[in-house]
Structure 1
Amino acid sequence: MPTVRVAVVQAGSVLFDTARTLEKLAALTADAAGRGARLVVFPEAFVGGYPKGLGFGARIGSRSPEGREEFRR
């Protein structure tokens, strides 16, 4: 069975900017391929922009108007 080099990327998307996230994905993929990776794995929802670290103003069952706007974006 042939060996396949796999790269696992631990990076976050560019929040609220899909175009820049795709540029980042392309750059990270090119870097991994340049190091010999044939398969590059990214975090779930990398392109969708999972809002890591945002609480949307929600604290124990409540949400603020600012949090609703963050969630909408």
Structure 2
Amino acid sequence: MVVIEVMVVMIGKMVMVVVMVVVITMVLLMFTVVVMEVMFKVIVVVIMMVIVMMVVKGAMLVVMVMEVVGVIIVV
């Protein structure tokens, strides 16, 4: 009888461990998905900012070139 009780306790502990692992895995997966979504949004914002910066720099460069060309033409 003692052996059976020990077996039941062992099985119970195993089940508890499995349930804990499953729950932890689910939480980690959800956390990972949320983090990935946030990271994706951050990356998109950063890329947009970089593109805007590049456009502004490009416009400034064009203006500078135009000014230089204008000066050369005037000279």
Say yes or no: TM over 0.5: no
The structure with higher relative contact order (CA 8 Å, sep 6+) is 1
TM-score bracket for this pair, using the shorter chain length: under 0.3
TM-score (norm. length: structure 2): 0.27
Greater fraction of residues in helix: 2
TM-score (norm. length: structure 1): 0.28
